[in-house]
Amino acid sequence: MAEVTETQLPGVGVRYEFTTEAEERVGVIVHRGGRREVLVYDPSDPDVCSTVMRLSVEDTRTLSELLGASRISEVTEAVQHEIEGLSIEWIRLAAGSSVVGSTIADGMIRTRTGASVVAVIRGAESFPAPATDFEFSAGDMVVAVGTLEGLESLRGILAG
Contact 138, 85 (CB under 8 A): no
Structure confidence at residue 41 (pLDDT): 92
Contact 29, 37 (CB under 8 A): yes
Tell me the pLDDT tens digit for each residue of 53-81: 998 877 877 887 777 654 434 444 554 45
Burial of 58 (0-12, 13-18, 19+ CB in 10 A): exposed
Structure confidence at residue 72 (pLDDT): 39
Tell me the pLDDT tens digit for each residue of 85-108: 778 888 888 888 889 999 999 989
Q: Could you tell me the pTM of the whole model?
A: 0.51
Q: What does each C-alpha distance from 160 to 89, 94, 100, 137 come to in angstroms? A: 17, 9, 10, 14
| Averaged pLDDT for residues 39-56 | 88
Query: What are the boundaries of each domain within the chain?
Result: 5-80, 87-159
What is 87-159's CATH number? 3.30.70.1450
